[in-house]
Structure 1
């Protein structure tokens, strides 16, 4: 097994799950024990009266989201990935993202996984970059849209300030920093991928010619070369190709956010058959705040946003559930959207390794 493969598989090691699990569970336990208003009897009662139909709806939406991921990656590869290969690519990609800091993500591992599934390196790199670009465009456009529609209700009024880089910032400020970073990165990547990859490479070279940036020059040149390769693979796609890629991205993220609506409805016993305008607006706020929360979480330095996600969940959704119950729901939410992928990743990784390393070699053409 080649050195690069060993390095990639090391990043997928089951031992990697220990730190994010300890951080995430530790954050929940700490928040529960440090909250004077925490009533464990109330939490027990809330779980005992849980609406099973909404829990079932949450699971269905979760499955639809993963199916959407598989459809999108299969579509982006022009069906060169089978459904079986798409299954392994997406779930191992999710696993890689869960054990690496959100600000880093699992993109390098995703390229490696696709390459092992007989997608040539240049194409695999292009598809991963395109996926990230589509997701980031969604984040920026959707977040601006919901802020305009919510008319000032999108940020919790009682949220605590957050220490960041020596400053204490409110949620609006943290969001603004995050979305500006994402937008800048998206414009930068779009420019390199679709407009001028060679200029992109020269720009990276210019940025790393100074004495204090020379340490990153080799990595910058490699990134520039990879962008040129990826850009070449993006040419010649039809209008339908882009429409389907965009639609599937909308479906994926909408399903991800609607899953929490279903979970919260399970605890609040929201009745879809007898609903008022105010209740519909509340559902819109729950959906919208997830978009904002996700952007804030993207700059988390912890693996899979462990600790960060649990903390921000309480800040954003306490008013819908109450002080005590919100942390219990946060644990259930993370169980379905995070810990489940750690378990699935550990379960399918040996089978995938056996499949691709015994019968296949990476595509390099």
Structure 2
């Protein structure tokens, strides 16, 4: 095993699971603790007693259900709102077959997501990988992503995984780069769609804004900076890959000759080489190739994002006014697109800790009082932790199997 291979295998060590698991569980526990003191004013339905009336204290025209200053107590149940605590919510939970169905739908969403990814990797490799190999590649790829910060990425590890499955290095490079491009194209187009559908007025939770030294930094600013950067980078790479690969590499090298950027010049040389290699690999691909790959990308990401909708539906009763229709579900979906940018810049492995906090901030208003911590944990149990444990199980056997296959090939060619 080469030094580079040893370094990659070390990065995939199951021991590295300890930090993300500990961070995630610690934040989930903290959120559960905070839920113990949560209160919320809910609009009454039917024969329920409304002990509070709403007054627009801050004159924003929005009912802030968690702000006690916006509600006044009234007599004879003449109000439209009642005060709820987490104990009230727990007492109201009525687990039904419908609740079970939505939990199963959330699990099915993750299965669909992975199957769509497996289908895409088969398309991108021109069916060189079997379904079994595709399963191993995707699980190990997700395992690597779960163990590394999103800002770092796992492209090098992904190329190593594909190369061990007998996909030549040039094609492995092309597959990893195209996979990233397809993911970014989904994000760019889907954000445009939801912005047209629902606008931006309710897209950015105000409770995530922070004031530092007199300047307010919020999710909206971070989102637009991140979205603009993704659009710019994706456009540049697409032009480079499909039209002017060598010119783009030359331009990048000239830019990174600047003293302030020179430290990253070696990395840019590698990126330029990857773009040229990818361009050669993708020449002559038919339209159906791209239709299948992009279609699988849309199915995969949509299934992944719908998991949150399904989990919330499992705990929200039909009588509740927390979620009243399609637009609320579209808003939940849209907020995940915003949250993805926040998770993308997280310095923690697999966004552990950051993801749970972000979940609370983005979706608290849609979740029954006192349950946001529990749902954040359940969401990660379904969408994150399985990849850690499946990857840890598969990795040792996969390394032995692919190492033996490589050794057999060397013997035959000797």
Asked if Structure 1 and Structure 2 have the same fold, meaning a TM-score greater than 0.5 normalized by the shorter chain, the answer is yes
Is the Cα contact below 8 Å between 1:156 and 1:315 reproduced in 2? no
Is the Cα contact below 8 Å between 1:43 and 1:328 reproduced in 2? no
Distance 1:192 1:307 in 2: 36
Distance 1:213 1:3 in 2: 28
Q: 1:23 to 1:363 in 2, by over 3 A?
A: farther
Normalised by the size of structure 2, how large is the TM-score?
Answer: 0.81
Equivalent position of 1:249 in the other structure: 297
- Structure 2 residue corresponding to 1:202, chosen from 250, 256, 266: 250
Distance 2:210 2:398 in 1: 41
Is the Cα contact below 8 Å between 1:28 and 1:310 reproduced in 2? yes
State which drifts further: 342-351 or 222-231: 222-231
- Structure 1 residue corresponding to 2:109, chosen from 41, 58, 61: 61
Distance 1:286 1:300 in 2: 21
Q: Which aligned runs of 4 or more in structure 1 are off by greater than 6 angstroms? A: 163-166
- Structure 2 residue corresponding to 1:302, chosen from 348, 354, 361: 348
Q: CA deviation at 1:48?
A: 7.0
Q: 1:28 to 1:305 in 2, by over 3 A?
A: same
**Aligned residues between the structures:** 360
Q: CA deviation at 1:213?
A: 2.7
Distance 1:328 1:4 in 2: 41
Q: Which residues of structure 2 form unaligned runs of 5+? A: 40-84
Is the Cα contact below 8 Å between 1:102 and 1:300 reproduced in 2? yes
Distance 1:126 1:240 in 2: 18
Equivalent position of 1:239 in the other structure: 287
Is the Cα contact below 8 Å between 1:118 and 1:362 reproduced in 2? no
Equivalent position of 1:30 in the other structure: 30
Equivalent position of 2:95 in the other structure: 49
Q: Superposed, which structure 2 residues align to 1:212-361 within 5 Å?
A: 212-270=260-318, 278-360=324-406
Residues 289-332 of structure 1, C-alpha deviations (whole Å, 9 max, x = no match): 22222233212222111121111111111111144211210110
Q: 1:158 to 1:42 in 2, by over 3 A?
A: farther
Highest RCO, 1 vs 2 (Cα 8 Å, sep ≥ 6): 1
Question: Which has the larger Rg?
Answer: 2
Q: Which structure has more helix as a fraction of its residues? A: 1
Normalised by the size of structure 1, how large is the TM-score?
Answer: 0.91
Equivalent position of 1:137 in the other structure: 185
Equivalent position of 1:6 in the other structure: 6
Q: CA deviation at 1:345?
A: 0.9
Distance 1:261 1:295 in 2: 19
Q: CA deviation at 1:43?
A: 7.0
Q: CA deviation at 1:147?
A: 1.7
Q: 1:181 to 1:156 in 2, by over 3 A?
A: closer
Is the Cα contact below 8 Å between 2:148 and 2:348 reproduced in 1? yes
Q: CA deviation at 1:341?
A: 0.8
Q: CA deviation at 1:154?
A: 4.0
Q: 1:267 to 1:189 in 2, by over 3 A?
A: same
Q: Superposed, which structure 2 residues align to 1:150-189 within 5 Å?
A: 150-162=198-210, 168-189=216-237
Equivalent position of 2:153 in the other structure: 105
Aligned Cα RMSD in Å?
Answer: 2.6
Is the Cα contact below 8 Å between 1:116 and 1:361 reproduced in 2? no
Is the Cα contact below 8 Å between 1:257 and 1:287 reproduced in 2? yes
Is the Cα contact below 8 Å between 1:159 and 1:171 reproduced in 2? no
